[in-house]
Homo-oligomer: A and B are copies of this chain.
Amino acid sequence: MSKPPPYLRIAEDLRGRIMALPPGDKLPSTTELGKQHSVAPSVAGRAYQVLVQEGLVISRHGSGHYVRGMETPEVLVRRHQRGSPDSPFAVGVTQQGAVGSWRHESATATADGSVAERLGIAEGAAVMRTDYVYLAEDQPVQLATSWEPLAVTGQSAVVLPEAGPHAGIGVAARMQLLGMDVGDPVEAVRARSASRAEAHSLGVSPQSPVLSIERTYYDQASGRAVETADIVLRGDRWVSVYGRRP
């Protein structure tokens, strides 16, 4: 066993101290912490750097280091609720009494290899691509990009997901207007780190965990995919629930 370097030992000591402190409490300055452990202030600063990265401490330039507050209250999204006319996002935020809204932008595009495979169409086929940014209390909390094959929705009034009389009702309900029963989607859920672009959009620090969901709706009669989407959610604000208790 090799002993950890001083800056890690100091960080370890601080973790124990922080557990017993109320959020918002001010921590010793780097110079004082250095004296307590007989190291240079730069080493104490590096120990704080570790804890800031871990989310236990926040540092305010010129002011000091402070115990970080509790996790922000979590917003729930409950998926797989057949029969609900609202989109999953709307279900999630209204359950919490929060105010939800979204911005969107649609454009026709061609399917790249990944999207084509997920939709079961030829690479380069025409699709309607829509980018969403979902806001809760004016804070972006969820990003989504959806692709729908134009072969399915083309020539109909529902071609634009969020325009006209059918805005914001979700894919399942909108497809029912075309006489299709899309049922429950298939969702593949991953945990990964936010890219820099995603971190910027979501207002979180880079490297913070996000839920990444690859969702595809199928027409149950034909078995063809009618919509696929990449959904990115803040890990600290969302939990995705599957199934219902009997």
Q: Is A183 an interface residue (CB 8 A)?
A: yes
Given contacts A216-B245, A242-B186, contact A191 B211 (CB under 8 A): yes
Report how far A47 CA is from B211 CA in the complex, Å.
28
Copies of the protein in its oligomer: 2
Contact between chains at A54 and B235 (CB < 8 Å): no
Report how far A233 CA is from B244 CA in the complex, Å.
22
Contact between chains at A191 and B218 (CB < 8 Å): no
Report how far A245 CA is from B183 CA in the complex, Å.
10
Report how far A211 CA is from B190 CA in the complex, Å.
7
The smallest beta-carbon distance between A1 and chain B, in angstroms, is 14
Partner of A187, one of B188, B236, B242: B242
**Interface membership of chain A positions 176-194, coded 1 if the CB is closer than 8 angstroms to chain B and 0 otherwise:** 0000000111111111110
Q: A204-246: which residues lie under 8 A (CB-CB) from chain B?
A: 206-212, 216, 218-220, 223, 225, 233, 235-236, 238-246
Report how far A239 CA is from B191 CA in the complex, Å.
8
Residues of B within 8 A of A38 (CB): none
Contact between chains at B187 and A243 (CB < 8 Å): yes
Partner of A192, one of B191, B212, B223, B225: B191
| Closest B residue to A15 using CB positions | B196
Contact between chains at A218 and B245 (CB < 8 Å): yes
Q: Is A53 an interface residue (CB 8 A)?
A: yes
Partner of A245, one of B186, B196, B243, B244: B186
Report how far A31 CA is from B236 CA in the complex, Å.
39
Q: Is A166 an interface residue (CB 8 A)?
A: no
Contact between chains at A223 and B245 (CB < 8 Å): yes
Q: A79-119: which residues lie under 8 A (CB-CB) from chain B?
A: 79-80
Q: List 29 A-B contacts (CB under 8 A).
A: A53-B53, A54-B207, A184-B243, A186-B242, A186-B243, A188-B239, A188-B240, A188-B242, A189-B240, A189-B241, A189-B242, A190-B191, A190-B238, A190-B239, A190-B240, A191-B191, A191-B211, A191-B235, A192-B209, A192-B236, A193-B208, A193-B209, A207-B207, A209-B210, A209-B235, A218-B246, A223-B246, A225-B245, A242-B242
